[in-house]
Amino acid sequence: MVMLERAWQVIAKRRYLLALGVLFSVSAFGNTINLVIKDQHDQVLPNAVVEINHLPSSKTSGNLPTAVMDQVDKQFSPELLIVHQGQYVDFPNSDNIRHHVYSFSKAKPFQLKLYSGQPEEPIKFDNQGVVVLGCNIHDSMVGYIYVANSSHVYTSNEQGQIKLQVDTFPVQASVWHSLQTAPLDNKKQFGIESTNPLSITINTSTPAPRNTFGSKFRKGNGQ
Amino acid sequence: MGNNLRSRITTLCVGLVLLTTLVSLLSFWWSTSKFQAEKVQQNITVAQSVYKQYLKSKEGLLLTAAKVLTADFGFKQAVATRDAATISSVLYNHSQRINADLMLLLDLSGRLVSANVNAQNFADNLQPLMDELLNNSEQSSFVVLNNQLYQVILLPVKTPRTIAYSLVGFKITSAVATELKSLTGMEVSFVAQLDDFATSSLVSQPDNFQPITYFTNKTTARFFAEYLAYENEQIALPSLQSHPITLLLSADLTSSYRDIEQLLLTLITLAVLTMLFGVITSSLLANNLTTGLSQLAVIARQFAKGDYRFKFEGKKQSSEIETLVNAFNNMGNDINKREQQISFQAHHDTLTGFYNRSAMLDLLAKRLTNDARYTLVAIDIKGLRHINDKLGPQVGDGCLIAVANRIRQFSDELGGFHARIGGDEFLTVYPCAEVEQVKCAVADLLKQLQLAYKVKNLKISLRFNAGIVQYPEQGTKADDLMRRVLIAVDAATTSQQSLHYYQDGEDEAHLDRLIMLDELKQAIDDDNGQLFMTYQPKLNIKSQKIDKVESLIRWQRKDGGWVSPEVFIDLAEQSGLIVELTAWVVETVIAQIADWSKKDIHLQAAINVSAQDIAHSGFHASLVATLNKYQVNPSSVTIELTERDMIENEAQGIKALEDLKTIGVKISLDDYGVGQTSLGRLKMLPIDELKLDKCFILTLHESQKDQYIVRSSITLGHQLGFSVVAEGVETAESLSMLHEMQCDHAQGYYLSRPLKAQQLEQWLEEYQRVH
């Protein structure tokens, strides 16, 4: 809960980005569709990402601002960052320790070797997909950058709700969540036939507790 | 085991040792077994913690290895980029570094991606294994893979999300089991029953070795039975649910059995030795104790046979036995002394030291040989009773001793021997060949004996009777000789001679008398008519009536022969049978009086009694009882006594007569005139009747002297207040003279001879008819 709260604070901080997303949808579509994202246990899922397919972004990458994936208190902040294809992301280090941010995701493998403060340059995310971020030093740090190719991207709120703006029917959309049991690169496709409210279910798995090995290691050392 | 002291002591000692041994054996066995069992249990507990420690350290190694592997950035990169060659080489490299036998990389769905060993050997899809290991992710697990047992740990590869799993494991081989064995000291086996896998530290394994079956069933042959060779502890190791792995700790019990057996053996050996020692010492002790006792038993038997020699052989004895031995010794001596004394007393007369009669008989029997000739002289001291009565028994004894001394002197001179054979009778036996010599010697002896004795300052002269028997002429047997010499001395006494040589036949006469006496006794007891009473009537001269009879006893023996009353009464008096005989007479006569009384015949009957009867204490009471029994008036009975009888025991006799007189019985003095009754005594006698002896009456009518005597006696009697009876009246002249002399009664053949009761009745009838 604490982490989710913290993530939300980060999101609030970057309100303008959300405002931007909302702006896109309002200008492009006339109908608002209420979407609720739930898991297999009928629990609402916040931070699910819904993308309406085949609507490439009207903006050019050059116009896109540089997104920021900060590292605060040995956490990526925000945990989930949605960027558009070709957008730059900066990885500042707000901690007073060094981090070694890396990703082995196909969409953008990279690593920023031990640094503190500001890395030399922001990184451009050319390919759409999910980029999982880790820190080689701090195994518990996990972050996600969702690289969207559609201009219509939404994230569910705390109630798992998303208001989609759709002009014409039917439209194809996809949904993704970091805890989904399907492979991380998979996006669940669904069609929207009408303005009727829609409920989408995603199978999730509970995130593994942090620092599993530590205790075991200590035990293993006989302590 | 017998009932003797020795075996009892031995049994007790051995029993105690046995009991002690058994108890200590049992307690040793129990405590040792318990100790050993506890030790084994403790070893197992230790082994458990040891094995845990061992496996934990292995697990730690595994964790380190896996951690190192999965944290390696290069590895992560290789996995993320699915660079198969790199992954494989990394796995190999790491496995080399940490000596891991198994390193597998599995993708998230459990497919084998890469392995440090030949991947062909593993199943393609390890997802079930992986899932279970993930659920059990806290620790290492034991799994069988590729027919090998591994301790494995599964760790995720994170970039930072889990993209794969790494399975790291150590092979569990017999080397591991052996190492564990060296740490725990127990046989260690790993068994995966469902996977048909087992490995064990056991060195020499049998064919088709199944550790659990083997260790739980293996037995070892010990002293008494087969015992299980191992104490087992099965421990479930962390493993897959469907593939349990068991760790079997097997403590070898053989050594503990051996220890117990060693201990038992030692104890048994000690016990046997102790018991042997016990047997030996107790038997020594018992021996020491019982040798003395059995020797004493032998001595006691010897004492019983009369051998009082005391010879005790023995080593040092206990003080109690010593005391007993001394007591035995003293007892032997005392008994010996007493026996000699008793034996002497049994054979000797205490007063004179002479042999007694029975010893004399024995001695005689020994001395009577064919070529020897002996003279036996029995000596009777006359009137010794008077000396005892008048001068006291001490003087009597003194006389006896003095006489004995003279006899001894005499008999010793002649080389004879002597005995005291009765109260006042001695016997001396001496060798003597010639008859003349005998007479001479006896005369000499009597002469010696009749010399005055000085006893207690009294000078006493004694008179003797002697009986003489010659051996072998007058008897060859000791008892015959003894009897005959006594007969001889009796004969001397009776005949008032000082010497009587035994005459052949005297013994037989004596025997006849004995036989007669026996028959008389029998006749009294049987009362079968052999003895009967006759009655001679007495005529009351004044009234010319028959009012009295004299009852007279008669005896006709079984063979029909008559025995003179003088003979058998004399015999009865001598033998004391007279009391019984008189009792019979009294009863018969009184019964007769009663019978006559019923027939209206009133007669006074006179009964002859002897001095012995009067002296007999029961006579008076018996007479009274009989009178009462037949309801007869005492005045119908007259007791007739001779003068001689009255003189004996005078005072006592007079008293008894007075008593009789008191009850009304009449007393008559029989045979008056021929005895020694002085006139002085006559006046003192409590009599009612004088009975003149028949010697004065038989020839009364012819002899003037008899007439004087009879007339004056009658007058004397009358004047003393007696009635007078004349006995032996045989003629009418005599009767008429008596009548003229005022005699009261007449009795004799002139009137009637004694008649049986019935005849008397007839006679009376006849008499009364005539007169």
Query: Residue B608's CB: how many other CB atoms inside 10 A?
Result: 21
3-state SS of B225-245 is CEEECEEEEEEEEEEECCEEE
Q: Does the pLDDT value for residue A3 go beyond 50?
A: no
Both A62 and A131 in a single domain?
Answer: yes
Q: Do A221 and B62 touch (CB under 8 A)?
A: no
Helix, coil or strand: residue B535: strand
The type of residue at A37 is I
Cα Rg of chain B (Å, integer) = 68
Helix, coil or strand: residue B15: helix
Question: Which residues of chain A make contact with B64, given a CB cutoff of 8 A?
Answer: 217, 220
Q: Do A208 and B162 touch (CB under 8 A)?
A: yes
Q: Which residue has the tokens 């518990």?
A: A140
Q: Do A220 and B73 touch (CB under 8 A)?
A: no
CA dist., res. B253 & res. B249, Å (int):
12
Q: Do A141 and B64 touch (CB under 8 A)?
A: no
The type of residue at B585 is V
Q: Which of A191, A176, A99 is nearest to A145 (CA)?
A: A176
pLDDT of residue A18: 42
Both A108 and A62 in a single domain?
Answer: yes
CA dist., res. A171 & res. A192, Å (int):
5
**Mean pLDDT of all residues in B479-494:** 86
Residue range A89-113, pLDDT digits in tens: 999 998 888 888 999 888 888 988 8
pLDDT of residue B554: 92
Q: Which residue has the tokens 């982490």?
A: A3
Both A75 and A183 in a single domain?
Answer: no
Q: Does the pLDDT value for residue B433 go beyond 70?
A: no
Q: How many helices (H) and strands (E) does chain A have?
A: 3, 17
CA dist., res. B171 & res. A151, Å (int):
56
From the candidates B54, B136, B138, B158, which should be mutated to test the interface with A, based on the most A CB atoms within 10 A? B158
Query: Residue B760's CB: how many other CB atoms inside 10 A?
Result: 23
**CATH (domain of A97):** 2.60.40.420
CA dist., res. B354 & res. B345, Å (int):
10
Question: Which residues of chain A make contact with B162, given a CB cutoff of 8 A?
Answer: 208
**Mean pLDDT of all residues in B305-323:** 78
Both A133 and A178 in a single domain?
Answer: no
Q: Do B64 and A217 touch (CB under 8 A)?
A: yes
The answer to whether the CB of A89 falls within 8 A of the CB of A81 is yes
Q: Which of B374, B357, B479, B368 is nearest to B426 (CA)?
A: B357
CATH architecture for the domain at B534-547+579-770 = Alpha-Beta Barrel (3.20)
Q: Do B60 and A136 touch (CB under 8 A)?
A: no
Q: Do B139 and A221 touch (CB under 8 A)?
A: no
Both A62 and A143 in a single domain?
Answer: yes
Average per-residue pLDDT for chain A: 78
CA dist., res. B480 & res. B500, Å (int):
17
CA dist., res. B639 & res. B551, Å (int):
10
Residue of A nearest to B53 (CA): A222
**Mean pLDDT of all residues in B462-485:** 87
Name the residue facing A213 among B67, B73, B80 (closest C-beta): B67
Q: Which of B573, B718, B738 is nearest to B642 (CA)?
A: B573
The answer to whether the CB of B700 falls within 8 A of the CB of B732 is no
What region does B664 belong to: left with phi over 0, alpha with psi -120 to 50, or beta? left
The answer to whether the CB of B130 falls within 8 A of the CB of B110 is yes
Residue range B566-577, pLDDT digits in tens: 888 888 888 888
Q: Do A132 and B161 touch (CB under 8 A)?
A: yes
Residue range B704-735, pLDDT digits in tens: 999 999 999 999 999 999 999 999 999 999 99
Name the residue facing B59 among A104, A132, A220 (closest C-beta): A220
Residue of B nearest to A220 (CA): B60
**Mean pLDDT of all residues in B336-341:** 87
Is residue A3 situated within a structural domain? no
CA dist., res. B116 & res. B120, Å (int):
11
Calculate how close chain A gets to B159, using CA atoms only, in Å. Answer: 6
End-to-end C-alpha distance for chain B, whole angstroms: 107
Is residue A33 situated within a structural domain? yes
Question: Which residues of chain B make contact with A184, given a CB cutoff of 8 A?
Answer: 161
pLDDT of residue A208: 56
Give the distance between the most distant pair of CA atoms in chain B: 208
pLDDT of residue B120: 65
Question: Which residues of chain B make contact with A139, given a CB cutoff of 8 A?
Answer: 71, 158, 160
Q: HSE-up of B420 (CA within 13 Å, CB side)?
A: 23
Q: Do B64 and A220 touch (CB under 8 A)?
A: yes
Residue range B367-391, pLDDT digits in tens: 888 778 888 899 998 888 888 888 8
What region does B556 belong to: left with phi over 0, alpha with psi -120 to 50, or beta? beta
Both A70 and A125 in a single domain?
Answer: yes
Is residue A97 situated within a structural domain? yes
The answer to whether the CB of A84 falls within 8 A of the CB of A57 is yes
CA dist., res. B758 & res. B182, Å (int):
144
Q: Do B139 and A216 touch (CB under 8 A)?
A: yes
Q: Do B59 and A208 touch (CB under 8 A)?
A: no
Q: Does the pLDDT value for residue B81 go beyond 90?
A: no
Calculate how close chain B gets to A56, using CA atoms only, in Å. Answer: 29
The pairing of beta strand B417-422 with beta strand B425-431: antiparallel
CA dist., res. B155 & res. B94, Å (int):
14
Q: Do B139 and A136 touch (CB under 8 A)?
A: no
Cis preceding linkage at A170, omega within 30: yes
The pairing of beta strand B666-672 with beta strand B689-692: parallel
The answer to whether the CB of B415 falls within 8 A of the CB of B472 is no
**Which pair of tokens denotes residue A103?**
């990703």
Residue range A15-64, pLDDT digits in tens: 444 434 444 444 445 688 889 999 898 889 999 999 888 666 555 556 78
pLDDT of residue B27: 87
Q: Is A162 exposed, middle or buried (0-12, 13-18, 19+ CB in 10 A)?
A: buried
Both A75 and A49 in a single domain?
Answer: no
Calculate how close chain B gets to A42, using CA atoms only, in Å. Answer: 25
Q: Does the pLDDT value for residue B226 go beyond 80?
A: yes
Query: Residue B560's CB: how many other CB atoms inside 10 A?
Result: 6
Report residue A219's pLDDT band, with 50, 70 and 90 as the boundaries: very low
Residue range B581-603, pLDDT digits in tens: 999 999 999 999 999 999 999 99
Structure letter (DSSP) for residue A195: S
Query: Residue A50's domain spans which residues?
Result: 29-55+154-207
CA dist., res. B593 & res. B605, Å (int):
7
Q: Does the pLDDT value for residue A4 go beyond 80?
A: no
pLDDT of residue A146: 92
What's the structural domain count of chain A? Answer: 2
Both A60 and A87 in a single domain?
Answer: yes
**Mean pLDDT of all residues in B669-687:** 82
* C-alpha distances out from residue B513 to B510, B519, B520, B532, B568, Å: 5, 10, 10, 20, 9
Is residue A215 situated within a structural domain? no
The B-side interface with A (CB below 8 A) comprises 56-57, 59-60, 62-64, 67, 71, 73, 76-77, 80-81, 137-139, 155-156, 158-163
Q: Which of B619, B665, B669, B661 is nearest to B641 (CA)?
A: B669
pLDDT of residue A60: 57
The A-side interface with B (CB below 8 A) comprises 102, 104, 109, 132-136, 139-142, 184, 208, 212-213, 216-217, 219-222
Q: Do B160 and A139 touch (CB under 8 A)?
A: yes
The pairing of beta strand B112-115 with beta strand B562-563: unpaired
Domain spans, chain B:
1-40+260-347, 41-252, 357-504, 534-547+579-770
Question: Which residues of chain A make contact with B160, given a CB cutoff of 8 A?
Answer: 132-135, 139-142
The answer to whether the CB of B585 falls within 8 A of the CB of B638 is no
Distance of alpha carbon B281 from its chain centroid, rounded? 35
pLDDT of residue B605: 93
CA dist., res. B561 & res. B568, Å (int):
13
CA dist., res. B667 & res. B663, Å (int):
11
**Which pair of tokens denotes residue A70?**
């900060």
Residue range A155-213, pLDDT digits in tens: 999 998 998 888 778 888 899 998 888 888 888 888 888 888 888 999 888 765 544 44
CA dist., res. B726 & res. B699, Å (int):
12
Q: Does the pLDDT value for residue B106 go beyond 60?
A: yes
CA dist., res. B418 & res. B502, Å (int):
19
Helix, coil or strand: residue B103: strand
Q: Does the pLDDT value for residue B668 go beyond 70?
A: yes
* Bigger pLDDT: A87 vs B286: A87
Helix, coil or strand: residue A170: coil
**Which pair of tokens denotes residue B197?**
């896998």
Residue range B142-178, pLDDT digits in tens: 888 888 888 888 888 888 888 888 888 888 888 888 9
The domain covering B357-504 belongs, at the CATH homologous superfamily level, to: Reverse transcriptase/Diguanylate cyclase domain (3.30.70.270)
Q: Which residues pair with B142 in a beta bridge?
A: B151, B239
Is residue A77 situated within a structural domain? yes
Name the residue facing B63 among A109, A134, A216 (closest C-beta): A216
Calculate how close chain A gets to B55, using CA atoms only, in Å. Answer: 10
pLDDT of residue B298: 84
Total residue count of chain A as it appears in this document: 223
Both A35 and A61 in a single domain?
Answer: no
CA dist., res. B571 & res. A22, Å (int):
187
Average per-residue pLDDT for chain B: 86
pTM, rounded to two decimals: 0.48
The answer to whether the CB of B523 falls within 8 A of the CB of B531 is yes
Calculate how close chain A gets to B115, using CA atoms only, in Å. Answer: 22
Q: Is B152 exposed, middle or buried (0-12, 13-18, 19+ CB in 10 A)?
A: buried
Calculate how close chain B gets to A219, using CA atoms only, in Å. Answer: 8
**Mean pLDDT of all residues in B98-119:** 82
Please give the sequence-ordered ranges of beta strands (E in DSSP) within B620-664, or none if there are none.
637-642
**Which pair of tokens denotes residue B551?**
């009852």
* Sign of the torsion formed by the C-alpha atoms of B193, B199, B200 and B204: positive
Is residue A116 situated within a structural domain? yes
CA dist., res. A33 & res. A178, Å (int):
23
CA dist., res. B764 & res. B549, Å (int):
11
pLDDT of residue A11: 45
CATH class of B41-252: alpha beta
CA dist., res. B767 & res. B751, Å (int):
9
CA dist., res. A34 & res. A31, Å (int):
10
Ranges of H-type helices in B72-123? 73-80, 84-98
**CATH (domain of A188):** 2.60.40.1120
**Which pair of tokens denotes residue B293?**
């006792």
Q: Which of B40, B29, B6 is nearest to B224 (CA)?
A: B29
CA dist., res. B577 & res. A139, Å (int):
157
CA dist., res. B232 & res. B230, Å (int):
6
Calculate how close chain B gets to A60, using CA atoms only, in Å. Answer: 31
Distance of alpha carbon B138 from its chain centroid, rounded? 97
Is residue A98 situated within a structural domain? yes
**Which pair of tokens denotes residue B352?**
């004179």
φ and ψ of A36, to 5 deg: -120, 130
